[in-house]
Amino acid sequence: MCGIVGYIGSHQAAPVILEGLSKLEYRGYDSAGMAVFDGKKIGICKSVGRLKVLEELTHGGATMPGTVGIGHTRWATHGAPSNQNAHPHYNQEETIAVVHNGIIENYLPLREKLVSKGYQFVSDTDTEVVAHLIDYYYKGNPLEAITKVMNRVQGSYALGILFAEHPDQIFAVRKDSPLIVGQNEDGCFIASDVPAILKYTRKVYFIENQEVVRLRADHMHFYTVDEEEITKEPVTIDWDANAAEKGGYEHFMLKEMYEQPKTVTDTLMPRIKGNDIVIEELGMGDEEIKAIRKIFIVACGSAYHAGMTAKYVIEGIARIPVEVDVASEFRYRNPILEEGTMVVVISQSGETADSLAALRESQKLGHKVLGIVNVVGSSIAREADNVMYTWAGPEIAVATTKAYSAQLIALYLLAMKFAKVRGMLKEGEFRSMLGDLKRLPGQIERLLANKQRIQRFANRYIGAKDVFFIGRGIDFAISMEGSLKLKEISYIHSEAYAAGELKHGTISLIEEGTLVAAVATQDALFQKTLSNMVEVKARGAFVLAVTNEGNTDIEKAADYCIYIPRTNPYFTNSLAIIPLQLFGYYVAVGKGCDVDKPRNLAKSVTVE
């Protein structure tokens, strides 16, 4: 959530900041602002709405001259979206400017203390407390003031800070909210994420918790909260810069859907060696794998749905009990993690606050954690005991598609590896499944090529008020993700139900013309799902069916059928989700929704 960009160097700062913030729009925001030192004072300009408004107010940055500045896109937490609440925030004398991602949990008592000392507040934000608190401790030494603030505030934060008395410096601080810095021959940068500065440098430094960095135009220094200088090594980012651009597609989401065959291949093939699966980054020998008694998968949103699929696959072929937890629940329910428990934390960004907290809680209880993430060098990647990357490349659209597909592949590989090591898969079964995995990219391409048919169907449901998704087993996990895709980008109310639960109350929601999307890819459960389709159709539902090629019996109970290629029953999610992604996308486009940046949502949820 939110985005920070800062620059100090030989070029004008405002245009660099605006361009960097534009690369972070996918993170979600409702206002934007900049602070630039013009040679005499720190000037601030901020506005509610899209970044375009700020660009117009500053004429592309031309009205804010200066070579040192910080910028921010805000997603409201404390205080409604408004010009007053937008970042940056000043101290009272307007000599210190601060941008902040995260939440200061103890801001109310700090605010009361500052008010008692004569400080006046002009916003409702927790961030303004930071600006005044820095001022309170500042006695000429910025580093000293900042570290004192770090020892007083509680919560999560990434901060960019300017001091009018030190116009040749930017300070940046991090605790539990992502922050990187980079450098090239023209200056130094701070940012919340790599795309913001990828145009300028590929060598970045990941700021760790409780670290401070002082940036000048030609160098940077890193410090601990105790003001001790430390050294850090840069990480080279090898993304193709064009991968973060639309490449001729109308939306990033559509582009990323069409990148799924490559994403699946890139995540899959490096881990297949001959007729075996080799996951070197797992960091576990065969005896350790055999000793696993239980697996906890912890995630949020789509990653949670990938985890639900993994539960069926791992339990089905490796015969290891699996619990899947929403990360925000896991961290507060005092989970019982016995000896032999493996914890897997899944996150596209690697910065999801609840997932990161669950990781730390698991480690505190003495258990190793495997992180499955997409962003190299992210917090979960750095803090997990081992990390398995999903090589999806940058995913810009808020609604995940290719990263979700890559997570499924990583989980299939884990399940098959565990099953083989534990002797639960015969060699012939293992090779057959391996062959099915290798065929998935081509099968996904076939489904994407059928987009026009799905688009025509989606156009009929632009005005829908309610849509229900049903399925059994793995099909229920697919239904949850299909429902989420539709609701998060089209704003149509949508729910997913285990089909067998219909009689227990939810069938009362079916009215004449209600769309019910039934997923029926599991042959062992096909007839039961077919019966559920007949039940809703008898009550007036229009039934969309997603099933395997050859299951033509489904046409007796469905009004519209989408067929997916045959594959191993455990892998059908990777195929059935494609038409459901396309359906959600084309409904949202037909309604005129902002597909890449749906309202109230953020790509990287870095606060609770």
CA distances from 283 to 277, 279, 371, 467 (A): 14, 8, 12, 43
pLDDT at 28: 64
- CB contact at 8 A, 6 and 216: no
Nearest to 388 by CA among 372, 408, 405, 406: 372
Nearest to 533 by CA among 555, 552, 563: 555
- CB contact at 8 A, 88 and 101: no
The residue that leads in pLDDT, 508 or 147, is 147
Q: Could you tell me the two tokens for 6? A: 């800062």
Q: Could you tell me the two tokens for 548? A: 């395997």
Alpha-carbon dihedral sign for residues 456, 457, 461, 462: negative
Pairing of strands 341-347, 294-299: parallel
CA distances from 476 to 251, 454, 463, 483, 518 (A): 28, 21, 25, 10, 9
User: Which one from 46, 402, 537, 603 is the annotated catalytic residue?
Assistant: 603
pLDDT at 603: 60
Q: Could you tell me the two tokens for 202? A: 């590929």
pLDDT in tens, 125-165: 999 999 999 999 999 999 999 999 999 998 889 999 999 99
Q: Could you tell me the two tokens for 371? A: 């992180």
Q: Which residues of 442-457 are buried (b: 16+ CB within 10 A; e: fewer)?
A: ebbeebbeebeebbeb
pLDDT at 245: 65
Cis? peptide before 270, omega within 30° of 0? no
Strand (E) or helix (H) holding 204 = strand 203-206
Cα 40 from chain centre: 40
Q: For 80-89, 414-423, 477-486, which range has the lowest pLDDT when averaged over its residues?
A: 80-89
Task: Quote the percentage of the chain above a pLDDT of 70.
Answer: 97
**How far is Cα 115 from Cα 148, in angstroms, rounded to an integer?**
19
- CB contact at 8 A, 461 and 433: no
Phi and psi at residue 36, in whole multiples of 5°? -135, 135
User: Phi-psi category of 63—alpha, beta or left, where left has phi over 0 and alpha has psi -120 to 50?
Assistant: alpha
**How far is Cα 414 from Cα 281, in angstroms, rounded to an integer?**
11
pLDDT in tens, 66-113: 999 999 998 777 777 889 999 999 999 999 999 998 888 898 999 999
Q: Which residues pair with 540 in a beta bridge?
A: none
* Residue 604, pLDDT above cutoff 60: no
- CB contact at 8 A, 302 and 584: no
For each of the domains in the chain, give its residue range(s) and CATH number, in order of start: 3-238 (3.60.20.10), 242-449 (3.40.50.10490), 450-595 (3.40.50.10490)
Is 593 assigned a catalytic role?
A: no
Per this entry, what is the length of the chain?
608
**How far is Cα 41 from Cα 91, in angstroms, rounded to an integer?**
13
Q: Could you tell me the two tokens for 206? A: 């990941």
Confidence of residue 59 (pLDDT cuts 50, 70, 90): very high
User: Which one from 2, 45, 300, 593 is the annotated catalytic residue?
Assistant: 2
Q: Which residues pair with 497 in a beta bridge?
A: 470
- Over residues 582-586, the mean pLDDT reads 96
Confidence of residue 472 (pLDDT cuts 50, 70, 90): very high
**How far is Cα 484 from Cα 302, in angstroms, rounded to an integer?**
8
pLDDT in tens, 221-276: 999 999 999 999 998 887 665 565 666 788 989 999 999 998 999 899 889 988 99
Strand (E) or helix (H) holding 561 = strand 560-564
Nearest to 521 by CA among 306, 309, 356, 282: 309
Strand (E) or helix (H) holding 477 = helix 474-490
Nearest to 312 by CA among 117, 525, 96, 464: 525
**How far is Cα 308 from Cα 322, in angstroms, rounded to an integer?**
9
Confidence of residue 548 (pLDDT cuts 50, 70, 90): very high
pLDDT at 301: 93
Q: Give the 3-state secondary structure of residue 190.
A: strand
pLDDT in tens, 277-310: 999 888 899 999 999 999 999 999 999 999 999 9
Nearest to 343 by CA among 301, 299, 407, 313: 299
- CB contact at 8 A, 479 and 496: yes
Q: Give the 3-state secondary structure of residue 237.
A: coil
Q: Could you tell me the two tokens for 511? A: 């009215």
The residue that leads in pLDDT, 464 or 606, is 464
Nearest to 263 by CA among 374, 164, 137: 374
Q: Give the 3-state secondary structure of residue 294.
A: strand
**How far is Cα 522 from Cα 2, in angstroms, rounded to an integer?**
41
Q: What's the mean per-residue pLDDT of the chain?
A: 91
- CB contact at 8 A, 348 and 374: yes
> Which residues, at least 6 apart from 297, have a Cβ–Cβ distance to it below 8 Å?
307, 310, 311, 322, 323, 324, 325, 344, 346
Q: At what angle do helices 301-317 and 474-490 cross, to 10 degrees?
A: 170
The residue that leads in pLDDT, 194 or 473, is 473
Is 2 assigned a catalytic role?
A: yes
pLDDT at 244: 57
**How far is Cα 432 from Cα 417, in angstroms, rounded to an integer?**
14
Q: Residue 157: exposed, middle, or buried by beta-carbon count in 10 A (0-12, 13-18, 19+)? A: buried
Count CB atoms within 10 A of the CB of residue 524: 9
